[in-house]
Homo-oligomer: A and B are copies of this chain.
Amino acid sequence: MTASENSEALSQRLADSGLRSTPQREVVYTVLLKKRDHPTADEVYARVKSELPTISLATVYNCLETLVQCDLVRAVNFERGPTRYCPNLRPHAHFHDESTGRTHDIDLPPTVLTELNRILPQGFDAKSIEITFRGQAKESSEHRAAGSGHS
């Protein structure tokens, strides 16, 4: 998927929600797509500034919030750490590597999701399920994680 195709998809999603496409929103989204390492708002801010030196942190927060509302990006939280942002739209869990601090995407087979819904007692209706692993990942796993796949 080319850059202009992503840009197109963004404009479309924004328009669908009655929102405008702006340079700030474009660049924030582009930055998330370029390096999918679950950056924090601060990290996004730093990356975006090299392209839009006058953008404010408040705007980065606004843009990220907008992208989450449009379902183009997921907000991810570990404990009380700063919120991280993930443009991977496939159903996936997160593996938080305690030694490196890195976050890896773990694809979720549909069977797992249906099995999880089965453990809910009568009357519980889940709209979303979030799964977080915490532990260590071997070096070699750098390239084995599902993270960089393009849906």
Contacts and interface: CB of A to CB of B under 8 A. Distances in A.
Contacts of A139: 123
B144 A119 contact: no
Given A79-B77, A130-B134, A131-B131, A95 B119 contact: no
Contacts of A109: 119
Nearest to A146: B121
Contacts of A93: 119
- Contact residues on A (Cβ < 8 Å of other chain), bracket: 35 or more
A75 to B, nearest CB: 8
Nearest to A134: B128
A115 interface: yes
9 contacts: A95-B124, A106-B119, A106-B121, A109-B119, A121-B141, A123-B144, A126-B134, A126-B135, A128-B134
